[in-house]
Amino acid sequence: MEPSQVTIIGSGLIGRSWAMVFAAGGFKVKLYDIAQQQLTSALENIRKQMKELEESGFLKGTLSAEQQLALISICTDLKAAVEGATFIQECTPENLELKKKIFGQLDLIVGNTVILSSSTSCLLPSKLFTGLKHVKQCIVSHPDMGNGGCRRQAALEDTVKTRSVEFDIPEKVKAKVVKPLAQVNPPYFVPLVEIVPHPETDPSTIESTYALMKKIGQSPVKLNRETEGFVLNRLQYAVISEAWRLVGEGVISPTDLDLVMSDGLGMRYAFIGPLETMHLNAEGISNYCERYREGMRLVLNTFGPVPEFSGEIEQKINQAMSEKIPVVPKVLDARRKRRDEYLTGLAKLKKQMKSD
């Protein structure tokens, strides 16, 4: 039987990642971009990554790297790219107007069964999809790598001006401004996907997207409704805020703060979430609340306001972090490589422990 086809719109970091994950799942992948050069370098990069993953025994799926590569094709014609697709994953720069334009174009050319999905990190479905004829088929599937977060629209527009090839940037300059890729493909090792519906998304779109993500080995979670920052970034920001306040109030040094997470809380959170942790740390949740309710409320009531993330505290944290890891491309890249190696090792461990 002919494998199902998915189309990826935008072949940057995330588009490439999705292409690899879908090919590993045995899907035919059409990769679309407005820039031929982006597509060519995407294919080269995917080939390199797949070969490396295969050599190190980390290639996902049952097919060889060559077989997976044979499933991926590139295309600069939108209509041809979406023809025959059952699922379309949009991965263009994080800019509302640009994404609305793309979904508007897709709305005119797709049929009534294909799912239109966006990788957006923080643009709400109600902003992206309202008014589309095929709104019932629209959804956000946000791959959560915890790398970045939500940025203000103004900052995003700057990014688009400097990083996207949508605008009038000369070919020579484009090659330089597109950001370098991480060596390891993040969704390979951080499988979470937040599925966020528009208020008018059909329940079958949510269920099919969820099932598809499971099928390709990702770890989907369903949000019942949209909320600013979705869930991962809300949790991440809660932790960052308190970290900022504790360092700002001089309670702990920046490096020790990080250790509290990496050698403390984080040890269990890679396997067990905060709610199950509560459940296990007492005789169930109700018993935990009975024991710790008052204490938790007492501590939580001492939390300060939302930090400004600027000024003296920023300088203090920046100085400490820069002493440990100088902000020099070579050093930062080496450290990112190390971070990706940690993730790879952790993914391997999680897989082993689950199969026990």
* Tokens describing residue 92: 């263009």
Name the minimum Å distance from CB 77 to ligand NAI: 11
Q: How many CA atoms lie within 13 A of 332 on its CB side?
A: 8
Is residue 161 near ligand NAI by the rule CB under 6 A?
no
- For the bound state, the minimum distance from the C-beta of residue 288 to ligand NAI, rounded and expressed in Å, comes to 33
DSSP lists the bridge partners of residue 197 as 139
13 sits near ligand NAI (criterion: CB under 6 A): yes
Question: Is the Cβ of residue 34 or residue 257 nearer to ligand NAI in the bound state?
Answer: 34
How many chain residues are in contact with ligand NAI, going by CB under 6 A? 28
- Closest contact distance (angstroms) between CB of 95 and ligand NAI is 8
CB 130 within 8 A of CB 102: no
With helix as H, strand as E and coil as C, how does 277-305 read? Answer: HHHHCCCCHHHHHHHHHHHHHHHHCCCCC
Single out the residue of 68, 164, 201, 233 in contact with ligand NAI (rule: CB under 6 A): 164
Member of 21, 24, 30, 33 binding ligand NAI (CB under 6 A): 33
Stretch that binds ligand NAI, among 124-132, 138-146, 295-303, 330-338 (CB under 6 A): 138-146
Residue number of the CB atom closest to ligand NAI: 12
CB 156 to ligand NAI: min, Å: 8
Shortest distance, CB of residue 142 to ligand NAI, whole angstroms? 6
114 Cβ neighbours under 8 A, 6+ residues apart: 82, 85, 86, 87, 88, 137
Distance CA 13, CA 91 (A): 9
When asked if residue 94 is in the footprint of ligand NAI (CB under 6 A), the reply is: yes
Give, for 44, the enclosing helix (H) or strand (E): helix 36-55
Residue 125 sits in the site that holds ligand NAI (CB under 6 A): no
The region, left, alpha or beta by phi > 0 then psi within -120 to 50, assigned to residue 165 is alpha
Q: Please tell me whether residue 121 binds ligand NAI under the rule CB under 6 A.
A: yes
Q: Which amino acid is at 30?
A: K
User: Rule CB under 6 A: which residues touch ligand NAI?
Assistant: 9-15, 33-35, 38, 91-94, 102, 119-121, 142-143, 145, 147-148, 163-166
